[in-house]
Structure 1
Amino acid sequence: MGAGVGAAAVAGGSLLGPVGAGIGAALAAGGSLLAPMLGRGGVLTDTASRALRIATDSELPTQADVVVVGAGVIGVCSALYLAERGFSVVICEKGVVAGEQSSRAFGWVTNHGVADEIQGLAVRSKTLWHGMDRWLDDDTGFRANGYLQLCSSDEEIGAAEAWIESLRGRIDSQAKIISGAELATHAAGSTSAWKAALYQADDGGIESATTASVLARAARKRGVKIVESCAVRGIETEAGRVSAVVTERGVVTTLNLLVAGGAWSRLLLGSLDVELPLLAAYLSQQRTTPVAGPAGCGFGGPAAWRRELDGSYSLGAPVLGAPVTPDSFRLIGKFLPTMRAMREMGEEMNLALTSDFFRALRVPKRWALDRVSPFERARVLAPTPDHGLLDKALASMAEEFPVFREARVAERWGGIINVAPDFNPIVDTLPTLPGAVVASGFAFGMTLAPAVGELVADIISGSEPKVDRAPLKLSRF
């Protein structure tokens, strides 16, 4: 039941970060990347997409080597790497490209705060981000403009140093502790007397409203077919393995299926008798008008930021909403250890019982493949933003960096992520459904997307994976 967690940071070894629910005890020791964008509240509603609109395909192919469910950043990156291996790929998207969480992410690209067991995946993904523009011959919006974790106490500095030391000898890292004039340069305009900061120059960010769309555009240039308003209703099997995918617009014969449907993956695979232990978390975010604030990405106390290319800023609220749904009760046993650990750390559990509980009750778990599915009734779905939390977030940023007193709110939105009990993603084959792969449960989706896409291509092509698959397997639960 992902619980919201208050302001996080490295103090006391808090393990929170910017995009998760109940993330407290599950992330890497010594750091927090997750608290900045956490926000309570919100109710799911049909909403407009934030994503850059691109041209897509009007006709659904009747055959493909691989069918991908979902045109978010994970599905699109997977399609890119599959196309590179020579596979014909079609992406079926129930709404529009990147319409839901992929255009609502905070946009940090960093391995700080990522769980220790998937550090290799995160660092591999950063490497791929650094070469993405050259590979695609396009501007994805990624900029390696650094990540700053501000420290106000010796305890916080010690936690940051311990995290850096934990990487030594096994992870190629540029992380270091900075202070004095170097710190003043990176935190220019800050009012607090920060003692030091953890800084990674090779970290950076992407433009959440455009990056996944640019990747999708590049995928189409490489032969990937992307069909919007094309919900996948289910699959057909032959001799026990995937043989076709049934969509609202027809049937595609295939031997390979990738389920990368974000918050919808659990529902789709549940209809195929595959249990994904994922629960939802809601976040609230905003973008300000341009101001002359700090560069890159950073977090310190209640202030967290990502500077966009036009000089505007993405700012997140410091609390995350954990909607209570029927699945919360079904999965409580798997999530209890994390919840107990959070309580021991003094983290608050911000659960919310809203109309979303009753909405979830009305969603069928099974449906006929020749009838309208739940996915067709919710083309682009997101929670409403919590304006009170966002007001506080902007006020906190203005208190730390007075230049933000000149900023105005340009845009606000809600987002939804699904997380597993250990808050690591699930990227694995499905033993009960040969030919099917799942990639879902991402709290760090933008950071991990390229390496996950490469891993999916390795799995489907039978190549040797470049990262450790064990922490990503569904069988760990």
Structure 2
Amino acid sequence: MKFPFTCDTVAEHVADLPQACDVVIIGGGVIGVSAALYLARAGVQVTLLEKGRVAGEQSSRNWGWIRAQGRDLAEIPIAIEAQRLWRDLDADCQGRLGVRTVGVTYLARREADLAAYQDWLDAASGSGLDSHLVSRADLGKVLPGIRGNWPGALHTPSDMKGEPWVAVPELARLARDAGAVIVEDCAVRGLDMAAGRLAGVVTEKGRVRSAEVLLAGGAWSSLFLRRHGVGIPQLSVRCTVVETGPVPQVTGGAAVDGRTAFRPRDDGGYTIAPSILSELYIGPDAVRAIPKYLPVLKSGGFDVRLHPRAPRGFPDAWGTPRRWADDEISPFERMRILNPEPNRGRAQAACDAFSEAFPEVGAVRPRTAWAGMIDVLPDVVPVVDRVAALPGLTVVTGMCGHGFGIGPGFGRVAAALVRGENTGHDLQRFRITRFGDGSKMVPGPNL
């Protein structure tokens, strides 16, 4: 079965390209769409430009978790805000986003995991979360019917889930109805600079004048920034996900261990994924950035598989151009949607592990398998910042697999940033300069 968002699907958003607006957003994922929604609701003339399809890439390909559990301490307040916003947005959409409180459980593989969970709980105390440790004897209370030898778990009853490839397009419709202009099949080739500051963007369909631009380009952000002299050590890793189709509903919760991650779906099946597998295609950016990733790689907990080269047209493929002129076809037009092949062997292994954990469900086979490219940074937290070298540009990228759940929160924060307003959160941890000012890379929680 084909993944829902590919370029042979009919574009929904075909508005005419405006000559000018207050804010241009590059990227139609959950953060770009959320920012467009909150800007439009504030009366800002905002134009969102998407090279392919809204939610065509990682924003629709993720697990669908909306969690605060295990987050970096700087992210927790924004994750909690995002959960509130998800509930409000689901009400705005008459429940179509599939948002539901299911609880998230991290099953410990060994006693050392429980110690790490306790360390995180201690650090996160006072945040207002209802996270707590669960003993081996009590696992059946949070995940009835589960079978296995885990020594315990970390559990957050208030964590939630949504249906990504339904939710983000619905948010785009909300933004459009609020006054945002959304144009699909419209790649931004570069920034239009004048007198040392941003004057708009150059697209394949023409120029748009704007004093403010928000880049929320996911796996493509680093490539776009490099063309304008801004380097960040962002890479992208392939992760595989499956959906089962309707099967016996053995658990209503979401959980993860060392082999599998799962959560219930609104269609009566489960979304299942290999839990810690990340596949990195080696390219020029990866070679440059690897030294900055050593701290997180040494911390363990990630199953990183290296591939010598990316498929043609991927952001860090050896043949992908790093420079192009405004009147040339850009890499963003050559690959409208980043649509990697899934790792089918690991997909089935994850399903087998789910069956072992819940024997009464029987053998599980993927009905659909897909993969996405997750934008990552060396300390496992994003960049959310104004770019001093390019006045007028705001960047929100490198969500490290956390983007869907926290998306409305960072979208609301981005909307405040571009308007010069107080975001309500301390964003020091997410500054873009941390990669070049000598700051030590301090990885976020590897949970």
TM-score normalised over the length of structure 1: 0.84
Distance 1:154 1:376 in 2: 49
Match of 1:236 among 183, 192, 215: 192
Q: In structure 2, what is the Cα distance between the partners aligned to 1:56 and 1:357?
A: 28
Q: Which ranges of structure 1 fall in alignment gaps of 5 or more residues?
A: 1-45
- Identity among equivalent positions (%) equals 35
How many residues align structurally?
Answer: 428
- The answer to whether residue 55 in structure 2 is matched with residue 102 in structure 1 is no
Alpha carbons of structure 1 residues 321 and 147: separation in structure 2 relative to 1, 3 Å = same
Tell me the alpha carbon deviations over residues 199-250 of structure 1, each in whole angstroms, 9 at most, x when there is no partner. Answer: 2121011112211111111111101111010000112122211112111112
Q: Which amino acid counterpart does residue 356 of structure 1 have in structure 2?
A: P
Shift of 1:132: 2.3
Shift of 1:164: 2.3
Q: Deviations over 1:127-176 (max 9, x none)?
A: 3223222355553221112112234665444443332232222x111112
- The normalised TM-score by structure 2 is 0.89
Deviation at 1:123, TM superposition (A): 2.2
In 2 relative to 1, CA 347–213 (structure 1 residues): closer, same or farther, beyond 3 Å? closer
Pair 1:89–1:137, CA change in 2 (3 A): farther
How does 1:66-77 map onto structure 2 within 5 Å?
66-77=23-34
- Of 141, 150, 168, 1:212 maps to 168
Any idea what SS the aligned residue of 1:129 has? helix
Corresponding position of 1:433: 390
Give the RMSD, CA atoms, in angstroms.
2.4
Question: How big is the shift at 1:336?
Answer: 2.8
The reply on whether 1:462 has 2:417 as its aligned counterpart is: no
- Confirm whether residue 388 of structure 1 aligns to residue 337 of structure 2: no
Q: How does 1:242-321 map to 2 (within 5 A)?
A: 242-291=198-247, 292-318=249-275, 319-321=277-279
Q: Contact 1:53 / 1:97 at 8 angstroms: preserved in 2?
A: no
Unaligned runs of 5+ in 2: 436-447
Alignment of 1:100-179 (within 5 A): 100-135=57-92, 139-151=96-108, 155-169=112-126, 171-178=127-134
| 1:240-274 CA distance string (max 9 Å, x none) | 11112111112111111011111111111111111
What is the alpha-carbon distance in structure 2 between the residues aligned to residue 470 and residue 355 of structure 1?
33
1:65 and 2:10 matched: no
2:157 aligns with one of 201, 220, 229: 201
Distance 2:304 2:121 in 1: 29
**Residues 11-48 of structure 1, C-alpha deviations (whole Å, 9 max, x = no match):** xxxxxxxxxxxxxxxxxxxxxxxxxxxxxxxxxxx986
Q: Which amino acid aligns with 2:388?
A: P
- State which of 182, 195, 207 in structure 2 corresponds to 1:226: 182
Greater relative contact order: 1 or 2 (C-alpha under 8 angstroms, separation 6 or more)? 1
Cα distance in 2 between the residues matched to 1:172 and 1:50: 40
Partner secondary structure for residue 426 of structure 2: coil
The question of whether the paired residues in 2 share the 8 Å contact of 1:298 and 1:305 is answered with yes
Counterparts of 1:270 and 1:370 in 2: how far apart (Å)?
18
1:353 is the counterpart of 2:308: yes
Cα distance in 1, alignment partners of residues 10 and 31 from structure 2: 18
Contact 1:128-1:451 at 8 Å conserved across structures:
yes
Alpha-carbon distance between aligned partners in 1 of 2:27 and 2:236, rounded to the nearest angstrom: 17
Stretches of 4+ aligned residues off by more than 6 angstroms: 50-54
SS in 1 for 2:101: coil
Tell me: CA distance 1:53–1:116, structure 2 relative to 1, closer, same or farther (3 Å).
Answer: farther
Which residue is equivalent to 1:19?
A: none
Aligned to 1:38: none
Tell me, in whole angstroms, the C-alpha distance in 1 between the residues paired with 2:115 and 2:233.
35
**Conserved in 2, the CA contact under 8 Å of 1:186 and 1:295?**
no
SS of residue matched to 1:395: helix
